Structures are given as C-alpha cells and as structure tokens.
Chain A
Amino acid sequence: MPSLGADMETGTLVEWLVKPGDFVKRGDIVAVVETQKGAIEIEVYQPGQIVQFLVDLHSKVPVGTPLALIRTEGEAKAAAPPPLAAAAAPMPAPPVIPQPAAAVMPPPARPPVPLPAAAGVAARKAASPAARRLAEERGIDLSAIAGSGPGGAITSTDVERHLAAAAPPAEAKRPLGLDLAAMRVAIAAAMARSKRDIPHYYLQHQIDVTPCEHWLAARNATLPPDGRLLIGALALKAVAVAIARFPAFNGFYRDNKFEPSAAVHVGVAIAIRGGGLTAPALHDADKLSLDDLMSGMRDLVQRTRAGRMRSSEMTDPTITVSSLGERGVEALYGIIYPPQVAIVGFGKVVTRPWVVDGAIEPRSVVTITLAGDHRVTDGHAGALFLAEIGKLLQEPEKL
C-alpha cells in the first residue's frame, strides 16, 4: 500500500486492473485504492509478471503493506518455483509493489516469451477504437455489451446506449471514491500541520496580462476548441519556467532539511464540485509545450473530478499553483502543502487603470501571490521569483 501523502495511514484496495500472469511495465496502472482523497489509480514501478495478489479486495491495510508479488524479467527466466513468502517483505513507499531481489538478478538476454494467449484472442470481442476508449473512460466492461457495428463489433454508440440504460439517478452519480467528508478530514490534517510547522511569509505582485490575452485571442481564433489554450496554462507554464531559475522553491522539506527537486512537478489545485480540493501533479511542466501542458491540465481536471487520480500525481508535486478562476477574487493567499515549500496563487483577471508609457490605459491585471517557507527561503528570493513569473507573462509567445 503506497503512501499517497504525508497524512495517509491506511488505504482500501477496491479494484485490481491486472490479474496474475499479466506482464506489467513501469507506469502501468494496476490497481485502484480508496483513500481519504478519493480513489487513486496505483501505478507500478517495477516491470515484470504479476505472480500473486497478497491483499483481498475491499480490505483496509496500513501504508507499507505488500499488495502483490511481481516477478522481474530475470526471475521469470529462471522459472524457479515462486519464492512467495520470502519475497513479500514490506517495502517503503513510493514503490507500490514488492520487488523480489530484482537488483541482484542479471538482465535477461531477450524479453520473456509471453504467456499463451490464443484462447484469449479467440474469445476477444471485436470493439472499435472509439468504443474501447469510451468504455475505458467510463469504466465499462465491454463483454457486457452487444455490438451493432460491422461484423457485430461493439461501437461507441453501443457503449453510449449501454451507459444511458445503466445510468443511475442523478444523486448517485458522484463517482465512487470521492468521499467529500473524508477529503475534508484529509485537508484539515494537512493544512493544520502546515500552519503548525511551516513559518509562512506572503508576497503579492500585480502584473499586466494584456499581452497574454491578445496573444491567446489571436492564437485561439483559428483553432478548434480542442486546440485552444486557457490563460491558466500560460500561468502554469510561467511558474514552471521561473522555478527552474529559483530552485529553492521547488522541492520538499523533510527531516529538518530542504531537498531540492531537479524535476518540476507542478501541483494544480483543483476544486471538486460540491466542495473539496486536491492538487495532483502535472509532471515536468517546465518541459511541456503549451499544447501538451494544456491537454495535461484538461486530463488532470477531468480525471480528478471523476475521482480517478494516479498515485504518482498525488505524491510528487514539488510546488503548487492555485487559482480561483474568473469568478473568484483578486488575490488568494495559499497555505503550503507539506512537504512542499511554496504555493503560488493567481487571482482573477480584472480590468484596471494602468500606466503604459506615461499614459493611463485600461489593462487586464492579475495579482499573483507567493506563500513561501521561511525555513528555506526569504522574501527577497520570493520577490525575485514572482517578478520573474511576471516578466515571463509579458512575452507569452516565448513560453
């Protein structure tokens, strides 16, 4: 059971997405775990073959409990009788799944031969790519659906029909795993710990984002909705780029010392409809193109609101960015999410009189704020960091 946050003690295994005998590679989603923050998709860090499950479905187990046994490629080749109990020692988080002595085994000369799959192929029902994607998004089992496409293949229309028939009443539609009361407890614990342990300092900086608005309007005018950018994507990218130049705001404070992070994983604060908040990571945000960053944000927001976050996203944000959107307020002062050391807030864009080249003009202005951890940085560095974000947003085309 991985630790999906400093405040997590136990988790409930609610779903396996693999079965014994399956081969998995690094990054595959293998299970769903229910926590106070919602249902989290668990990724695997160790490639190999699933040998055995060690925890029953729906059991609640402490962090660190082994969930399953994976045989690495070297061991699979050795084909010895499975060394079950001996290998199932608890492992520290974040590796999800125990790794039986992987390090000492030589790498295989070539990939293992996959398990015989002929029976599975013969039994496999034809389903279109669009149907498969939709079914995966909605968590539908295709084997329960009759196909109406060419050759009896299941089409996306068939899946939609199935969804419509199976749709529960509106009240029951909140995705399983989003327990708002439990989430509130988790937020309370993390924020109380932050206010107790972290000496916050606050800075604010007003910047002119008219160049961003002009650039976005011109760019989005020629694009279909899928390709359009929101100003939030520019803001996120500016923070990610700026932080690469101010590494003291990017990382974790643990065991009385600051550990800077080489990677920039920006936590995106996402409000849950009906109350609740979480901030999963957009990985390597500084290296993403604006288009990739925007689609990453869309994906995060959609999955988060559907209650499908991934374990790595929950555990490794290195800084958080929060925005209350266009219906929010002019400035927000965030509380740092431990063990991070900074949170950047974006207020809503407002039109204000602004002096441009000696004349007063109406301009679009946004207030950005920084809450910094005084154990790691001082206001001087924070001011330079905020100013850098502001500068980057003057030239959106270069982001």
Chain B
Amino acid sequence: MSEADIRKVVQEELNNIAPEIDIATVDPAADLRETIDIDSMDFLNLVTALHHRTGLEIPEIDYPKLATLSGMVAYLEAKLKSAKTA
C-alpha cells in the first residue's frame, strides 16, 4: 500500500462513520474528535475498520498517534512498512 492508498482507506472509513462530512475539507492536523465530532464508539469502529483493512494491530496505547488525519496516515504507513520487512 502506498501513502495515497492508505490515505484513501482512512478517508473511506471516516466517511462510513461521518457520511455527511466532506473529508477533503478536514484540516489534516486537527483533532478528529473535535473537528468532525466522533465519539469513543465511532473511534473504536474506525480503528476496527482500519485493522480489518490493513491487518495491523492498533493497540490502545497508540491511540494518541491517531488523533489527526495526518497522524493516522503516518502511523499506518510506518506500521505497514515494518510489518512488510519483518
């Protein structure tokens, strides 16, 4: 998966959770919980979906790294890279 692929997966899954939001307008550096009003259940559903799409473990302890759109993409990219070389 390239960075563009990961970005697309994240956007699709966010869109499933918040269909009325135009993800393209979301500030990639802003806290998602604030900007698009997702709660802990939404967030858990998002993490679950990303887990299924990428196969990556996403432990709770890493949740702070997933707070923003850009953080989420960077996190998944780094994890995928290390998963592939392991």
List residues of chain A with CB under 8 Å of any chain B CB: 170-171, 173-174, 217, 220-221, 224-226, 228, 230-232, 271, 273-274, 297-298, 301-302, 325-327
Contacts and interface: CB of A to CB of B under 8 A. Distances in A.
A97 to B, nearest CB: 33
Nearest to A226: B48
A326 to B, nearest CB: 6
Contacts of A231: 40
A221 B59 CA distance: 6
Contacts of B20: 170-171, 173-174, 273-274
A271 B37 CA distance: 11
Contacts of B58: 225
B44 interface: yes
Interface residues of B, number: 21
B41 A297 contact: yes
Majority SS at the chain A contact face:
helix
26 contacts: A170-B19, A170-B21, A170-B22, A171-B20, A173-B19, A173-B20, A221-B61, A224-B48, A225-B44, A225-B58, A228-B44, A230-B41, A232-B41, A271-B39, A273-B18, A273-B20, A274-B20, A297-B41, A298-B41, A301-B45, A302-B45, A325-B39, A325-B40, A326-B33, A326-B40, A327-B33
Contacts of B40: 230-232, 325-326
B47 interface: yes
Contacts of A173: 19-20
A301 B19 contact: no
A326 B39 contact: yes
Given A301-B41, A325-B39, A226 B61 contact: no
A297 to B, nearest CB: 7
A173 B37 CA distance: 17
A217, A225, A301, A326 — most chain B CB neighbours (10 Å):
A225
Nearest to A229: B44
B68 to A, nearest CB: 16
Nearest to A271: B39
B18 to A, nearest CB: 6
A298 B45 contact: yes
B61 A225 contact: no
A175 B53 CA distance: 24
B41 A225 contact: no
Contacts of A326: 33, 39-40
Nearest to B51: A225
Interface in B41-72: 41, 44-45, 47-48, 51, 57-61
B48 A225 contact: yes
